[in-house]
Amino acid sequence: MSAITVEHLTHVYSQGTPFEKTAVDDVSLTIEEGEFVGVIGHTGSGKSTLIQHFNGLLKPTSGRILVGDRDMWADPKKIREFRFMVGLVFQYPEYQLFEETVAKDIAFGPTNMGLSAEEVQQRVQQAARFVGLNPNKLEKSPFELSGGQKRRVAIAGVMAMNPKVLILDEPTAGLDPRGRDKVLNEIKQYHKTQGNTVLLVSHSMEDVAKYADRVLVMNKGKVAMFDTTEKVFARSEELSAMGLAVPQVSRICRGLAARGLNIDPNCYTIEQAKQQLLALRSGKGADLNA
């Protein structure tokens, strides 16, 4: 079954005022259960507006959102249920930490779901493990932690609700390269272990290329592309025209192929490029699809 279905979604901010802005414009798409979807697009293309509809934080101006086969806004009184089914990690989520201890912060979501104290404790421990947080940090104040650790606590707080769909809006913004890799690997690990659907909004093509099965490209409030990672990055000229650079390694593969080397011009991760170059060195040449 599909995890999320979007039917003709339009979202207009400040409708009827001079500031009126159509941020999402007649978008229809389907996200399948268990997929890892990367969402990319220029700043202002509507990524954050779109995903905030998926847990009912924003209400469509027109159109429908279905979670599984349930229309989210069929009964507005029930919208809270969807907040637990679809977990959203905002940009800079560490600003929303507020409890005295890390454990209490992570426990906030599952407690609100009405789980037993015992179950909440289990969820907290498990989520802390997902984000590689040492158990001795659990009784500390979140404000004693480093920036990267605070970010992980905030992510753990959403993972602890074990949402069917986990959405992260620019989860690595502002982290150094090592912190970035750690957080992304933890998300990948979570996806693999739990089998839940994951949506990763990112402006980093490299990150999306490495982790996503499918990539959704937003442009000016519309879906410009939604296809497998390989197919999306093969359309590098269209991406460039939208102000999106393909991964650096894609440009290298293209350049080498253009110079006559037997390399697939559509490689998009460093690992793929490495395999191709090694094959070339051993004299075999390589085809990604072989």
Ligand X SMILES: Nc1ncnc2c1ncn2[C@@H]1O[C@H](COP(=O)(O)OP(=O)(O)O)[C@@H](O)[C@H]1O
> Which stretches of the chain bind ligand X, using CB under 6 A?
13-14, 21, 23, 41, 43-49
Alpha helical stretches, state H, the chain:
47-52, 79-85, 102-112, 117-130, 147-159, 177-194, 205-211, 229-233, 236-241, 248-258, 270-281
CB of residue 54 to ligand X, shortest distance in Å: 13
Exposure of 279 in the CB half-sphere (CA atoms within 13 A): 16
Pick one of Mg ion, ligand X, none as the site partner of residue 229 (Cβ within 5 to 8 A by kind): none
Pick one of ligand X, Mg ion, none as the site partner of residue 289 (Cβ within 5 to 8 A by kind): none
CB of residue 217 to ligand X, shortest distance in Å: 11
Pick one of Mg ion, ligand X, none as the site partner of residue 282 (Cβ within 5 to 8 A by kind): none
CB of residue 10 to ligand X, shortest distance in Å: 12
Number of residue whose CB is nearest Mg ion: 48
CB of residue 166 to ligand X, shortest distance in Å: 18
Q: Which is nearer to Mg ion, 48 or 219 (CB)?
A: 48
Burial class (CB in 10 A: 0-12, 13-18, 19+), 16: exposed
Q: Which is nearer to Mg ion, 45 or 196 (CB)?
A: 45
Write out the residues near Mg ion by the rule CB under 5 A: 48
Three-state SS at 107: helix
Burial class (CB in 10 A: 0-12, 13-18, 19+), 101: middle
Pick one of Mg ion, ligand X, none as the site partner of residue 87 (Cβ within 5 to 8 A by kind): none
Strand order in the sheet with 21-32: 21-32, 2-13, 62-67, 70-71
Pick one of Mg ion, ligand X, none as the site partner of residue 14 (Cβ within 5 to 8 A by kind): ligand X
Q: Which is nearer to ligand X, 107 or 216 (CB)?
A: 216
Phi, psi angle pair for 200, to nearest 5°: -115, 110
Q: Which is nearer to ligand X, 68 or 174 (CB)?
A: 174
The residues that bridge with 197 in the sheet, in sequence order, are 165
Q: Which is nearer to ligand X, 220 or 251 (CB)?
A: 220
What does the H/E/C string look like for 111-141? HHCCCCHHHHHHHHHHHHHHCCCCHHHCCCC
DSSP H or E segment with residue 10:
strand 2-13
Q: Which is nearer to ligand X, 160 or 223 (CB)?
A: 223
CB of residue 43 to ligand X, shortest distance in Å: 4
CB of residue 46 to Mg ion, shortest distance in Å: 8
